[in-house]
Amino acid sequence: MKIAFTLFLILISMRLAAFQVKKEPRYGDRFFTSSVLRGIFGPSAEKTIREKIILKPRIFGGPCSSMEELYTKDPETGLEVSRERNFECHYGRGDSKVKMLVEGGDIRKGLISKTCETLIADKKSLKYALGGNLYLDSNNKNLNMIFKKFYPLTTMTKSMYEFYAKKRKIKKEGRFWKYFLLSLCLSEEWQIP
């Protein structure tokens, strides 16, 4: 009886092990991601964000919707044009069936990386992200101000300040701020709504 009970417990534990839940974060869709980046890097970032995020619904999620396409007449041509191009089904109606929220993946990470690098390399976007000053002093107050653009509900920890204090020596042509912004932009947590 004791052996049978032990075998029974082993079988149950094996079954329970098979049902363990794998927890993956759900990232915001292309509209959420582009909205955050547009808020940080400003209007000059629009072309890059559209090309690398908005036009990639199968990677970033966020289905298109033919019901949400808004049209207006172009005053010059008289033709109907879409006012909100982000909701268009750029690659056919199949894009209306993509998931709202997606799990992260290597392609998404690569596109985010390329987008961040492109935006930070653009002086207008960089200047916008730094509050209009390319030569912003890298003190703790300004570090936290930039940090809050990605993480508005969080403040930097003491260990984060200490880590970036070592990097502040990179002063040439705003390289510290490029480094700081890139490290924040490549972090994944801001992409989770």
Tokens of 170: 């990179």
Q: What is the pLDDT of residues 95-108, one digit of tens each?
A: 666 766 677 788 99
Would you put residue 181 in left (φ > 0), alpha (ψ -120 to 50) or beta?
alpha
Counting residues of the chain whose pLDDT is more than 70, the rounded percentage is 66
Q: Residue 3's Cα: distance from chain center in Å?
A: 54
Q: Where are the alpha helices (DSSP H) in 92-139?
A: 106-121, 123-129
pTM of the model: 0.75
Q: What is the pLDDT of residues 47-83, one digit of tens each?
A: 999 999 988 888 888 777 655 444 555 566 665 555 5
* pLDDT of residue 150 exceeding 70: yes
Q: What is the pLDDT of residues 172-192, one digit of tens each?
A: 656 889 999 999 999 999 998
Tokens of 57: 């619904």
Instruction: Give the largest CA-CA distance in the chain.
Output: 89
What are the contacts of 115-120 at 24+ separation with CB within 8 A?
Answer: 115/37, 115/48, 115/49, 115/52, 115/53, 115/185, 116/181, 116/182, 116/185, 116/186, 117/182, 118/48, 118/52, 119/37, 119/41, 119/45, 119/48, 119/49, 119/185, 120/178, 120/181, 120/182, 120/185
